[in-house]
Amino acid sequence: MCCWPLLLLWGLLPGAAAGGLGRTYPHWTLLDSEGKYWLGWDQRGSQIAFRLQVRTAGYVGFGFSPTGAMASADIVVGGVAHGRPYLQDYFTNANRELKKDAQQDYHLEYAMENSTHTIIEFTRELHTCDINDKSITDSTVRVIWAYHREDAEAGPMYHDSNRGTKSLRLLNPEKTSVLSTALPYFDLVNQDVPIPNKDTTYWCQMFKIPVFQEKHHVIKVEPVIQKGHESLVHHILLYQCSSNFNDSVLASGHECYHPNMPDAFLTCETVIFAWAIGGEGFSYPPHVGLSLGTALDPHYVLLEVHYDNPTYKEGLIDNSGLRLFYTMDIRKYDAGVIEAGLWVSLFHTIPPGMPEFQSEGHCTLECLEEALETEKPSGIHVFAVLLHAHLAGRGIRLRHFRKGKEVKLLAYDDDFDFNFQEFQYLKEEQTILPGDNLITECRYSTKDRAEMTWGGLSTRNEMCLSYLLYYPRINLTRCASIPDIMEQLQFIGVKEIYRPVTTWPFIIKSPKQYKNLSFMDAMNKFKWTKKEGLSFNKLVLGLPVNVRCSKTDNAEWSIQGMTALPPDIERPYKAEPLVCGTSSSSSLHRDFSIKLLVCLLLLSCTLVTSQV
């Protein structure tokens, strides 16, 4: 261990900031609100490397947790004490008791400490196959962090308030394109919107796109969130509207989906961008941009902002929206967006008390066949996906089928976090061909709910959607489905409803126990058990679906409104088995090599000194 002091001195050299061993870390994020704890990381084959840069002279803690809390967490603690580095692999049980892991899977590569900061670099395998470690996949991970002013040679002391959690997607591909900081931009931002003291508000405001004399491409979109409103603004959708308006439609905004909202809002059906809470700015790939300035491009857009106010705060005024960066350097392809999944409807039903319940939204082969054969027989190329659900959501997968056989998942998040939703860049673009079909598969937990959960706009309601960014742009904006409601009601014993339907939700006529109840009240009156919920889930997944297949300007493909049967697929989805890494032996060899190199340097210095 005689060589570690030299390695520590090496870390104090000016060039060490990018990585103590000369390695670069393409991904960086600040974990705390005071600017004291920085995390850098980089995937290297089957391993992932981390760099922790923390303003403390004590220990630094870092780890992964299923909920963001200390229970059942995978933790590593490191630092430099008396000039000697240390790094220990720990875990906690369900009672949050900290224990040293018998299998040490985190391997120190570099450490330094000065009067203000501690920096440590280490690696681990993505999949260690240690029951006390968390595998790192494309899904969301809840990182936990802590630090202390004292070192942890005999085990970490309590970190007081110097701790926190943050959701990240560690394996999101590196963004290789570097954009000019001088790019022109324009903002689509709400002005002094009064937020009602109710849990959910959807606010809509129309904007006119700046007039361009020739074609431009938007190449980056950033959220503009009013300071202090980061938890209030849940998601933002940007829709293309009809071009057959004048600027009179740009009057003050209005609540969306309200009986008195302006008729012009009804023409805004085509989603051209989506942002959700926790997401950052999105840069389009170097060969793709969002087109502006041509006859086919939006002249008027609708900004829809979902405000989540569960504590019913009063007096809130918001000025949030989007910032769009653009260029005259036209790229090869125009980007499009397809909304796929379950049409947002009360016909999307989830029973109470269910630890796990699965819903599926179908982008049917009939819809993709008609739209792609007409618009682009050679197919479209998906480069990013945003998966979207609400509070009961636990996991989402976007499954892809061709000629009845499943191909690679387009996107997935098996540890969905309602407060962290952003576009996932695909590692490789995937092609969708005529006759393919997509299934947005959502997994929910309602074990703490006493009543039905319905599809709807509130965060206490549910959604099951995928937003696909793709090129080249075609005339398909929505590819979704609605499950049949009458067969769902037959499951709870409903025999007849009043016809014609004149009220919403519609009213049940028989049997007697449900007479004159709305179908929502009847579903809540039914005595749901876990066994009944599982039987109902199996029924719903096999029900015929009503196809939604929409074009721009409220137009529809001919398949719209038709009934289709869900494909016969394998359920549940079977992921490829994880391959355990062999970090222990390789890391030991690497550590030995590094230490040997440093010792040789030290020996060389000693020999030179002796010769002098």
**Residue 219: inside a domain:** yes
Alpha-carbon distance of 64 to 165, in angstroms, equals 9
| Model confidence at 356: pLDDT above 90 | yes
Give the end of a domain, one of 334, 368, 388: 334
- Which letter, b or e, does each residue of 23-62 get, where b requires 16 or more Cβ atoms within 10 Å of its Cβ? eebebeeebbeeebbbbbbbbeeebbbbbbbbebbbbbbb
**What value does the mean pLDDT take over residues 146-175?**
81
Q: What is the mean pLDDT of residues 377-387?
A: 96
The answer to whether residues 350 and 444 touch, using CB atoms and an 8 Å cutoff, is yes
Same domain, 157 and 58: yes
Q: What is the pLDDT of residue 599?
A: 38
Examine the domain organization and report whether 451 and 560 are in the same domain.
yes
51 and 142 belong to one structural domain: yes
Cα gap 475→374, rounded to integer Å: 9
How many alpha carbons fall within 13 Å on the CB side of residue 382?
Answer: 24
Please tell me whether residues 386 and 507 are part of one structural domain. no
Give the model's pLDDT for residue 585: 41
Instruction: Please tell me the least confidently modeled range out of 226-240, 437-451, 509-523, 595-609.
Output: 595-609
Same domain membership, residue 200 and residue 166: no
pTM of the model: 0.85
Neighbours of 442 (CB within 10 A): 29
pLDDT at 516 over 90: yes
Average pLDDT over residues 134-160: 85
- State how many domains the chain has: 4
Burial grade of 518 (CB within 10 A; 0-12, 13-18, 19 or more)? middle
Q: What is the pLDDT of residue 392?
A: 97
Task: With respect to residue 497, please indicate whether it lies within any of the assigned structural domains.
Answer: yes
Say whether pLDDT at 186 is over 60: yes
CB 345 within 8 A of CB 482: yes
Q: List CB contacts of 350: < 8 A, sequence separation 6 or more.
A: 357, 359, 392, 444, 446, 452, 453, 454, 462
In this prediction, residue 7 carries a pLDDT of 42
Residue 202 catalytic? yes
Q: How much is the pLDDT for 180?
A: 63
Determine the pLDDT at residue 3: 39
**Confidence (pLDDT) at 303:** 96
Are residue 326 and residue 191 in the same domain, yes or no?
Answer: yes
- Alpha helix positions (H), 35-118: none
pLDDT of residue 588: 42
Examine the domain organization and report whether 345 and 404 are in the same domain: yes
Under 8 Å CB-to-CB from 355, ≥6 apart: which residues?
445, 447, 530
Residue 507 phi/psi, 5-degree rounding, is -105, 145
Task: Please check whether residues 416 and 471 belong to one and the same domain.
Answer: yes
Q: What is the mean pLDDT of residues 420-444?
A: 94
97 vs 575, residue with greater confidence: 97
**Sequence-ordered list of residues with C-beta below 8 angstroms from that of 523, at least 6 positions apart, any chain:** 349, 452, 488, 489, 492
Question: How many angstroms separate the CA atoms of 361 and 545, rounded?
Answer: 9
How much is the pLDDT for 542?
Answer: 94
Share of residues in the chain with pLDDT > 90 (%): 72
Predicted confidence (pLDDT) at residue 62 exceeds the cutoff of 60: yes
Please indicate whether residue 248 or residue 352 has the higher confidence score (pLDDT): 352
Burial class from Cβ neighbours inside 10 Å (0-12, 13-18, 19+) for residue 270 reads buried
Does 574 fall in a domain? no
Looking from the CA of 362 toward its CB, the CA atoms found within 13 Å total: 29
Question: What confidence category does residue 25 fall into, taking pLDDT thresholds of 50, 70 and 90?
Answer: very high
Is residue 463 located within the same domain as residue 490?
no
Supply the pLDDT for residue 476: 95
Inside any domain, residue 573: no
In this prediction, residues 560-575 reach a mean pLDDT of 85
Nearest-angstrom CA–CA distance, 15 and 24: 11
The type of residue at 275 is W
Query: Is position 570 within any domain?
Result: no
Query: 236: pLDDT confidence band, cut at 50, 70 and 90?
Result: very high
Backbone angles phi, psi at 9, to 5 degrees: -65, -40
CATH number of the domain that residue 358 is part of: 2.60.120.230
| Percent over 70 (pLDDT), the chain | 89
What CATH code is carried by the domain that includes residue 196? 2.60.120.310
Mean pLDDT over 248-269 rounds to 86
**Are residues 289 and 195 both part of a single domain?**
yes
In a domain, 559, yes or no: yes
Which of these is catalytic: 235, 388, 390, 400? 388
Query: What mean pLDDT do residues 99-120 have?
Result: 95
- The verdict on whether 388 is a catalytic residue reads yes
Averaged over 219-223, what is the pLDDT? Answer: 94
Rg (CA), the chain: 27
Q: Among 20-34, 139-153, 520-534, whose mean pLDDT is lowest?
A: 20-34
Looking at residues 39-64, what average pLDDT do you find? 95
pLDDT over threshold 90, residue 573: no
User: Which residues share a beta bridge with 72?
Assistant: none
Which CB contacts under 8 angstroms, 24+ apart, belong to 83-89? Answer: 83/4, 83/5, 83/8, 84/1, 84/4, 85/4, 85/8, 85/111, 85/120, 86/151, 86/152, 86/153, 87/111, 87/120, 87/122, 88/152, 89/133
Q: Which amino acid is at 63?
A: G
CA proximity to 32, closest of 17, 64, 54, 50: 54
Residues 322 and 365 in one domain: no
Per-residue pLDDT band for 155 (boundaries 50, 70, 90) equals: low
Residue 575 lies in a domain: no
Q: Which helix (H) or strand (E) holds 485?
A: helix 485-491
End residue of a domain, out of 308, 334, 360: 334
Q: How far, in Å, CA of 93 to CA of 99, rounded?
A: 8
Q: What is the DSSP letter of 345?
A: S
Tell whether the model's pLDDT for residue 602 goes beyond 90.
Answer: no
Q: What is the pLDDT of residue 569?
A: 83
Output the CA–CA distances (angstroms, integers) from residue 266 to 299, 535, 578, in the order listed: 16, 38, 47
The answer as to whether 328 is a domain residue is: yes
- Of the candidates 106, 110, 147, 202, the residue annotated as catalytic is 202
Q: Would the pLDDT of 297 be above 70?
A: yes
Name the residue among 561, 562, 559, 567 with its Cα closest to residue 542: 567
Question: Quick one: pLDDT at residue 153?
Answer: 67
From 334, 349, 368, give the residue that closes a domain: 334
- In this prediction, residues 292-315 reach a mean pLDDT of 93
Q: What is the mean pLDDT of the chain?
A: 88
**pLDDT band per the 50, 70, 90 thresholds, residue 92:** very high
Domain that holds residue 434: 338-481+550-565
Q: Which helix (H) or strand (E) holds 147?
A: strand 141-147
Q: pLDDT-derived band of residue 276, with 50, 70 and 90 as boundaries?
A: confident
Task: Give the pLDDT confidence score for residue 420 in this predicted structure.
Answer: 86
Q: C-alpha angle with apex 190: 188 to 194, nearest 5 degrees? A: 170
For residue 99, what is the domain's CATH number? 2.60.40.1210
Q: Residues 471, 490: one domain?
A: no
